Amino acid sequence: MKKYLKEIGGGFYSLMLGMRVTLAQFFKPTVTVHYPHESLKMTPRFRGHIELVRDPKTGQAMCFACKVCEKACPSDCIIVEGVKKEGEKRKSVTEFKLDFTKCSLCGSCVEACKSNAIQFSKAYNMVSMNKEDFIMNLFQKLESERSADGQATATPPPEQPKSEVP
């Protein structure tokens, strides 16, 4: 009988402890975000798909089609094509395709680019029912943004990560 009452007392104590936690949470403000009307602020280190960086001086893409990012990509999701124009020292990119359905967001392409011509975007709500919407021509997108603005808007090159050496 003593053991039986001890178990009932322990169960009641456990129930009261759980109810205390429940009541404490009940009176706290909600943290739910009503998505279509509200959105979360993305952290500075968020990694979206890659995007080309615009040269602040010329307004053109900084990429010169060296294909290092294409070689560094383990998912084989980047295709870069370029043409050397008359009077220029380097190639100019003409096509920069990203198959985002294959991309693993590893960052190898961004790290491999010595000219800081690509960076991670902050776009996070890319939704579609068509696979073709995730195969993007980033050069064409950069040029359409430039023509929509009517002028070249400068996109600063990405900050280099600080190495933490003890």
Contacts of 18 (CB under 8 A, 6+ apart): none
pLDDT at residue 111, rounded to an integer: 95
pLDDT at residue 50, rounded to an integer: 94
Instruction: Report pTM.
Output: 0.66
Domain boundaries, the chain: 1-31, 50-149
pLDDT tens-digit profile, the chain (166 residues): 889 999 999 999 999 999 999 999 999 988 888 887 888 888 888 888 999 999 989 888 999 999 999 999 999 999 999 999 898 888 899 999 999 999 999 999 999 999 999 999 988 888 889 999 999 999 999 999 888 876 544 444 444 444 444 4
pLDDT at residue 150, rounded to an integer: 65
Pairing of β 135-137 and β 91-99: antiparallel
Provide the β-strand partners of residue 99: 135
The tokens of 142 are what?
Answer: 């950069």
> In 3D, which of 113, 21, 87 has the Cα closest to residue 96?
113
| Virtual torsion, Cα 18, 23, 24, 29, nearest 10 deg | 140
| Whole-number Å distance between alpha carbons of 78 and 41 | 29
| Whole-number Å distance between alpha carbons of 118 and 114 | 10
CATH architecture for segment(s) 50-149: 2-Layer Sandwich (3.30)
